[in-house]
Structures are given as C-alpha cells and as structure tokens.
Amino acid sequence: MRVLVTRRQTAKVEAALNARFDVVLRDDSAPLTLAAARAALADYDAILPTLGDAFGAAAFQGPIRARLLANFGVGYNHIDVAAARAAGVAVSNTPGAVTDATADIALTLILMSARRASEGERLLRAGAWTGWQPTQMLGQHVTGKRLGIIGMGRIGQAIARRGHFGFGMEVVFYNRSPLGTLDMPARQGTLADALGADFVVIAVPGGPETRHLIGANELAQMGPHAHLINIARGDVVDEAALIAALSTRKIAGAGLDVYEREPLVPEALRSLENVTLLPHLGTACEEVRDAMGLMAVANLIALAEGHPLPNVL
C-alpha cells in the first residue's frame, strides 16, 4: 500500500510506517496546498495528513485513488469529512493520545497569564529587572478561583480535573449537549455562565460550527479581571475582537497556543504585554507524538488488512 506522510514524524513512527508500507515522507514543513492535496488523493492508496493540509471539499473533485486519510491529530477541521466520505475516502483521527498533553498546556497558559510570566521573562532578558520589591508585577492568584470551560469533551474534562483537584478551583462549563455524572464537582451552565469565570478555557472542536464562537459580544461578558485561554483552534476566537479587548483592558489577559491564520500572528497581538503566546505546543512531547503517529499507523494497518478502522470519524 502506497502511503504519503505529509510531514516528517518521530523516528519511532517513521520506522513503523516503513516497516509496513511503501512510504513517501514529505520533507516540506508547509501544509499541502489544494493542488498538492488533489494530486495526493490521485496518486496514493492512503495519506497521513497533518494540521492545515488542504483537504477541503474542492480537493475531492478530481480522480481519487486514496481510500483513507489517517489524520495525525484529534482535530480535523482541515478535512471536509462529508466530501471525503462522498468520494469513498474514510477519515480517522487520533483521540485520547493528545488529551493530557493538551490539558497540561491549558494549565501552563492559565498560570503564565495569571502570574505575568511571559512579561516578567521579557523584562529580565531585556536587562530591565532592578530586583525584588513588594509591588512588582502583581498578578492574579489561581488557587480557589472559578474556572470556566467551553467544551467538556475529553480535553475539557482533563482541564477541569487539573483545575479542581490541583488548584481547588470551582468549575463551571458550557457544552452543546447535557452531560451526565462527572468524576469531579462541576456545574453545567450557559455560555454566559462559563464566560463569567475568572479563567475561561476554550476546548471545543474546530470547524464551521465553532468559527468565531468567541467574538466581541462574548468577550464583553467576561470580567475585567478575567483571562481567556485558547488551546482549541485559532478561528474559534475572533482574533481582531480579542486584540481590541486586550488593548483596552476589557479583559486582563489571554494565553494562546493557536491562532486564526496560523502561523501568522498579527503584530498587534505580538506587541501586547498582557498576552502569552505559544507556538502551538499542545502535543509537543515526543512520547505524545509517538502515540499519535502510532495510532494513525494502526488505522492504516486496519485498512490494509480489511479490518474496521479503530478511530474512524
């Protein structure tokens, strides 16, 4: 089975792929263009795509040889799943493997934003730190505060556990569907309830349904002391509205691991002191990337052997 891997993988994943398939490892770090995606669908039996590869509806309008897009990642808003299915191409992803690492990044951003860690490091690196003083760079306490979570799937629940059990936070969450009993104290409420928390974390899937879920109106419902954390997809937040809210101090701060037009991060956002910016580090641990890649390989093997796909969408 001829397989295209759209970006290089860890050594363990590449070894697993090469041991089983006729693999082409693409060295270009940029996402596949529409033309390249169409060509790949015509030339390969299966593709292991990654974030940003252009598998929208238009990609499936040419000749199709591929039978599977074994997506590397839990998020798949770069793939039009309905169009793929209509063209006879299955789509799988890698749920579960990313949960803890992504939740850890959410807590990292909460702490960095609350305690002004990025701002403090820039001060020190610039040689502008004059020494400790009682009123220097006062931030916000995290322990015991209210944590609002928007999207209470695997990752949202992992964030809630860390907040409640690790920091004694009160958890309120918004989810599109009602949830049953959870393994921690947490109250399901409206979107406005979640936005009213001290720290608001976005953990919803990307896609047309959630694009600009958080815009100017939603940001206005947050308090001036509140921090917004986004570890989901960049376009869930209206970036221009967020820049305005941060610039005018309508909210206290933000912590971002994803961006609306990634990897483009506007200068207006980069110039702000009250925002922590990470370069999409959510799953950037070798053992996590190994687990993600091997889960994608398991879906490819299932296709090759005629078995049901373990993680089909």
Catalytic residue numbers?
Answer: 233, 262, 280
Distance CA(108)–CA(159), nearest Å, equals 11
What is the helix (H) or strand (E) element at residue 107, kind and residue range? helix 99-114
Tokens 């609350």 belong to residue: 114
The CA dihedral of 162, 163, 165, 171, to the nearest 10 degrees, is -130
Nearest to 258 by CA among 51, 56, 67: 51
State both tokens at 50. 């990654």
Distance CA(312)–CA(79), nearest Å, equals 13
Strands 90-92 and 146-150, by their bridges, are: unpaired
Instruction: Output the DSSP codes for 68-100.
Output: EEE-SSS--TTB-HHHHHHTT-EEE--TTTTHH
Distance CA(136)–CA(115), nearest Å, equals 11
Distance CA(224)–CA(235), nearest Å, equals 23
Distance CA(299)–CA(295), nearest Å, equals 7
Distance CA(269)–CA(241), nearest Å, equals 11
Phi/psi at 312 (5° precision): -70, 145
- Give the C-alpha distances (Å, rounded to integers) separating 214 from 77, 118, 256: 17, 24, 13
Rounded to the nearest angstrom, the gap between the alpha carbon of residue 55 and the centroid of all alpha carbons in its chain is 18
Contact 169, 145 (CB under 8 A): yes
